[in-house]
Amino acid sequence: MNKVKFLKLLSVGESLNPWMNRLNASREIAPVTLPNCRLIKGIETGSEDIDILPNGLAFISSGLKYPGIKSLAPDKPGEIFLMDLNENDPRAVELRISRGFDLASFNPHGISTYVDTYGTVYLFVVNHPHQKSTVELFKFVEADNSLVHLKTIRHDLLTSVNDIVAMGPDSFYATNDHYFSDFILMFLEMFLGLTWSNVIYYSPEEVKEVAAGFYSANGINISPDRKYIYVADVFDHNVHVMEKHADWNLTHVKTLQLDTLVDNLSIDPYTGDIWIGCHPNGMKLFYDDPENLPASEVLRIQNILSEEPAVTRLYADNGSVLQGSSVASIYEGKLLIGTVFHRALYCEL
């Protein structure tokens, strides 16, 4: 059974199907434009996640092949791009990856950086070689715009990894967006509303589940004071705030409900605002209909720990410019908006 037939089968009885509600299948959005934006040259096959260093260097993962979602270059290996946002007209440069790493099966997803006390930059990359899940650890060499591969991390608890936030040079939190990795079983998991998705803490000394009960845990990040972990549940349309403890366990603090499918979370290190790349209508993302393109939406959440957080829609597009937004990252008034499989947008606010 092909993907479209399977999706149509699941959508029978839409009015009675909570799965369609989780996809926001009937939602349409009004456009919200930003005045000073341009598509980034050279990024043509996705920009699923973006992480910006304090010095303005932005890492961008590109070329994700994900079950059920289209790819514009299914046979092309994934890439990591770099942009220096301090430049007047920043451009994307592909980073060279050291010999010995299997580039042919490189399928990058979520990314996170960690800078140690000596200034060494580590890049963690969620990878799906042959539709499996690994975490690749690289060291960034700025002098020649390269990544030195240090090691591949595999573990039985890292089954369907979506995103990652680094806690040290070899430790991190990671989200598993599904319990199953098989395409059909993944969609049955969503259709049945199983809340089997979770968050894992990994270090060389200890690996454990630290949060569970999500429809599909997706983006993950940490507050500037490093006290709280934020987790996006894409199919429950919300962001969870979790308190981080000395033993790395997490406890739930609050949940902020939204009206969109929330993907990756980026944090403004100065204000603590959360910037989110969102999918207004998840059905359009999966159906791949050229007459009904997947839209893009960017939200900013201010003061999430307060009684009344402020939620602002800063960008929305029906897919005519940008399809399937997955991340929005800010640096000193410069905004990067990435997508699952499409282009990337650079805006000056």
Contacts for 205 with CB less than 8 Å, ≥ 6 apart? none
Name the β-bridge partners of 190.
none
Residue 295 Cα distances to 235, 238, 330, angstroms: 16, 18, 20
Q: Is 36 annotated as a binding residue?
A: no
d(CA 349, CA 346): 10
CA–CA distance, 199 with 110 (Å, rounded to integer): 14
| Residue 218 assigned to a binding site | yes
Residue 2 in marked binding region? no
Q: Is 49 annotated as a binding residue?
A: yes
> What amino acid is encoded at 273 in this protein?
D
Determine if residue 303 is labeled as part of a ligand binding site: no
Describe the crossing of helices 3-10 and 183-191 by its angle, rounded to 10 degrees. 20
Q: Is 263 known as a binding-site position? A: yes
State the residue for tokens 């944090």.
Answer: 267
User: For the chain, where are the alpha helices, taking DSSP H only?
Assistant: 3-10, 18-22, 183-191, 282-287
Residue found by looking up tokens 């960690």 in the block: 114
Residue 264 marked as a ligand binder? yes
Where in the sequence numbering do the catalytic residues fall? 109
* Spatial strand order in the sheet of 197-202: 161-168, 171-176, 197-202, 207-214
> Looking at residue 77, what DSSP letter applies?
P
Residue positions forming the annotated binding site: 48-49, 111, 162-163, 218, 263-264
Residue positions forming the annotated binding site for Ca(2+): 48-49, 111, 162-163, 218, 263-264
